[in-house]
Amino acid sequence: MARALSERAETYSSRIGATLNLRRVLVRDPEKERPVKIDPGLLTVRPEEALSGDVDIVVELMGGEHPAYELIKDSLSRGRYVVTANKEVMAKHGPELLGLAAEKGVDVLYEASVGGGIPIISPLKRDLSANEISSIRAIINGTTNYILTRMSREEISFNVALRQAQDLGYAEADPSNDIEGQDAVYKLAILASLAFHTHVRPEDVYREGITLLSPQDFRYAAELGYAIKLLAIARREDSAIQARVHPALVPEEELLAKVDGALNAVQIEGDLTGRILFQGAGAGSLPTTSAVMADVLDAARAVVQGGRPLPWRYTAELSIRPLAELVTRYYIRLEVADRPGVLAGIARAFGDHAVSIASVIQKQADEAAQTAELVIMTHPAREDAVQGTLLELRDLPEVVSVGNLLRVDG
């Protein structure tokens, strides 16, 4: 960011009709070696010093909830525009911070918090604002998409794929926020809040990570015509919203199924536009700089133009629909005893819960253990009925184990 600001100063000032000056840089350790040369006189470790004086725009890139949240709040209170890449703060405190910004006649801009360099916040706030949005379906975590792409192509286990991702810098040493889906939850909460004009909190989003996926799941999914993706899904149904992050079977002919590696993609459905897809690099220093600097230039334009930015309004009162009420199709993988009559008992368990089976494939009989693998695809069914079925299946003597349950989306 500092590099773009200094190297492109002339271009940027010609684009906004004003000069951008880096006034202060708040750091933890001023002695640390930095990839970009910054005038040491600008460095400070004291927030008070960073925020005081003649500053129009504060850029927050520290990450994490604290003290970023307090710093953003403090900046807005002083009437500064704030540009942030902080998904956790915006997912948790977005409405409060946007409200404070409106009160002070400034704005908080957070394009870089979701989808890296892909424009997505701004299209939701502006370009799609004539639409009623009905759904968001997104691949918004590059780490997990990279891991899933490797697992799908190379038939390797989750742990091997994770280690490779770590070796190549696609996953952090502590990858839990990514692989458990928390990162995607923050991002989805931000997108859903914008799309539906209501505050969707991170705890409103059902979350399931990718750690339980096995190579078989990818093999069977491919046979059935699906890719497996960690999807972030938010749908509006009447006055309720369903929001969830979990691995899902996506029909392989869909563009979302073809978004591979560390790429991100967001598909938005509006009642006027129909389905729109945005795709690109979801992370990385340069794409993040692109988004942060776009917001900085936007804030600078607002400062130059004068006038009060129009506050973002949460105009809808929508409830959150619990996952139990989800209706979708399911993929269920079971390890069962390999003997006659087994399928009848299993089918009965599904029937007891009014879950209708669409297809059954028997796989990989293990002669030594006298077990076989069953892959069952259901017709659309309610989540609670399917979970009830699973409970009953676990108690059946002929079911050795429940391998995995995956939802189909698309």
CB atoms within 10 A of CB 290: 20
Segment interacting with its own copies, rule: CB under 8 A, options 109-117, 176-184, 318-326, 395-403: 109-117
Q: Is 408 in the site for its own copies (CB under 8 A)?
A: no
Q: Which string of DSSP letters, residue by residue, matches 281-326? A: E--SHHHHHHHHHHHHHHHHHHHHH-SPPPPP------EEPPGGG-
Interface of this chain with its own copies, residues 296 to 355, rule: CB under 8 A: 296-298, 301-302, 304-311, 313, 315
Q: Closest separation between CB of residue 272 and its own copies, Å?
A: 4
Tokens 């003597």 -> residue: 397
Query: For residues 181 and 209, is the Cβ–Cβ distance under 8 A?
Result: yes
Closer Cβ to its own copies, 307 or 340, answer by number: 307
Q: Closest separation between CB of residue 10 and its own copies, Å?
A: 9
Q: Are strands 274-281 and 57-60 parallel, antiparallel or unpaired?
A: unpaired
Q: Is 7 in the site for its own copies (CB under 8 A)?
A: no
Query: For residues 320 and 202, is the Cβ–Cβ distance under 8 A?
Result: no
Which of 84, 113, 135, 290 is close enough to bind its own copies by CB under 8 A?
A: 290
Closer Cβ to its own copies, 306 or 340, answer by number: 306
Q: Closest separation between CB of residue 18 and its own copies, Å?
A: 9
- Close Cβ partners of 104 (under 8 Å, ≥ 6 residues apart): 76, 77, 79
Interface of this chain with its own copies, residues 121 to 160, rule: CB under 8 A: 122-123, 126-132
What is the distance between the alpha carbons of residues 318 and 323, in angstroms, rounded to a whole number?
16
Q: Closest separation between CB of residue 133 and its own copies, Å?
A: 11
What is the distance between the alpha carbons of residues 140 and 300, in angstroms, rounded to a whole number?
28
Phi, psi angles (nearest 5°) of residue 26: -85, 120
Closer Cβ to its own copies, 130 or 358, answer by number: 130
Query: For residues 326 and 409, is the Cβ–Cβ distance under 8 A?
Result: no
Q: What is the DSSP letter of 359?
A: E
Segment interacting with its own copies, rule: CB under 8 A, options 135-143, 286-294, 363-371, 379-387: 286-294
Closer Cβ to its own copies, 71 or 128, answer by number: 128
Pick the catalytic residue from 73, 92, 187, 229.
187
- Close Cβ partners of 61 (under 8 Å, ≥ 6 residues apart): 1, 84, 85, 292
Interface of this chain with its own copies, residues 255 to 284, rule: CB under 8 A: 255, 258, 270-281, 284
Q: What is the DSSP letter of 39?
A: -
Query: For residues 215 and 162, is the Cβ–Cβ distance under 8 A?
Result: no
Closer Cβ to its own copies, 117 or 209, answer by number: 117
Q: Is 16 in the site for its own copies (CB under 8 A)?
A: yes
- Judge whether 187 counts as a catalytic residue: yes
Interface of this chain with its own copies, residues 236 to 255, rule: CB under 8 A: 255
Site for its own copies, rule CB under 8 A: 4, 8, 11-12, 14-17, 111, 116-119, 122-123, 126-132, 197, 255, 258, 270-281, 284, 286-287, 289-294, 296-298, 301-302, 304-311, 313, 315
* Residues assigned a catalytic role: 187
